[in-house]
Amino acid sequence: MTRGSLIVFEGCDKSGKSTQCKKLVEYLNNHGNQAEQWRFPERSTEIGKVINDYIEKKCELHDRAVHLLFSANRWELVPLMKEKLESGVTLVVDRYAFSGVAFTSAKGLDFEWCKSCDRELPTPDKVFYLDIPIDEASTRGDFGGERYEVSSFQKTVQEKFQQLQDDSWEIIDARNTIENIHKLLCESTLKIIENNKENPLKMT
């Protein structure tokens, strides 16, 4: 049995992550690869509902408490995540622990503390980082509606994302057209799936 790949999308708000995740999953399923679109926060669980209320500014929570809830929301889905990957399904995940660290540390909390609760999560085979100047992202869609959609804060988040980058990241110019970005992502993802199908899943 060959495993699926764990593909993560990261980037600041309105960089185009959800748009690309959806298109990539459709492409993979139409080209002989089983794939599912996932997202964090996964707002449908009990923990996710609390996170949703917080993001939509319907409740207030302590910064550390909400950080731990975002992490718990990932951990509660790890058994299903592993089951899917091991049964050959590629997961295209819209945000992961990198968002957790970048957003909370941008509030001024210690970087290492922020990272600690997500240690040993399944390691992504690839992180696609959608890179866009905040001034451009802030003109897209309904930027400004949610808690963190404030340009000055997003700029700090972007700096934190830069500190998290390693060899598994591919930086994508998110100012390109939706179709051009999609094409590039399809080519890259097919190679990733092929290269990782015999490798064991890593946990770091």
Three-class secondary structure of residue 186 per DSSP: helix
Residue among 13 and 131 whose Cβ is closer to ligand T5A:
13
- Residues 16, 57: Cα–Cα separation, whole Å: 23
Question: Across-strand partners of 6?
Answer: 91
Q: Does residue 140 touch ligand T5A according to CB under 6 A?
A: yes
Distance of closest approach, residue 54 Cβ to ligand T5A, in angstroms: 9
Distance of closest approach, residue 195 Cβ to ligand T5A, in angstroms: 26
| Cβ pair 17, 39 in contact under 8 A | no
Three-class secondary structure of residue 38 per DSSP: strand
Q: Does residue 165 touch Na ion according to CB under 5 A?
A: no
Residue among 3 and 106 whose Cβ is closer to Na ion:
106
Residue among 86 and 146 whose Cβ is closer to Na ion:
146
Q: Does residue 40 touch ligand T5A according to CB under 6 A?
A: yes
- Binding-site size, Na ion (CB under 5 A): 1
The correct pick among 18, 29, 123, 156 for binding Na ion (CB under 5 A) is 18
Burial annotation 56-92 (CB, 10 A radius, 16+ → b, else e): eeeeeeeeeebbbbbbbbbeebeeebeebbeeebbbb
Per CB under 6 A, contacts with ligand T5A among 5-24 are 11, 13-19
Q: Does residue 154 touch ligand T5A according to CB under 6 A?
A: no
Three-class secondary structure of residue 66 per DSSP: helix
Residue among 35 and 66 whose Cβ is closer to ligand T5A:
66
Q: Does residue 165 touch ligand T5A according to CB under 6 A?
A: no
Question: Across-strand partners of 171?
Answer: 129
- Whose tokens are 């290492």? That residue is 112
Which of 64, 124, 58, 50 shows the shortest CA–CA distance to 94? 124
Binding site for ligand T5A (CB under 6 A): 11, 13-19, 40-41, 55, 70, 94-95, 99-100, 103, 140-141, 146, 148, 174, 177-178, 181
Binding site for Na ion (CB under 5 A): 18
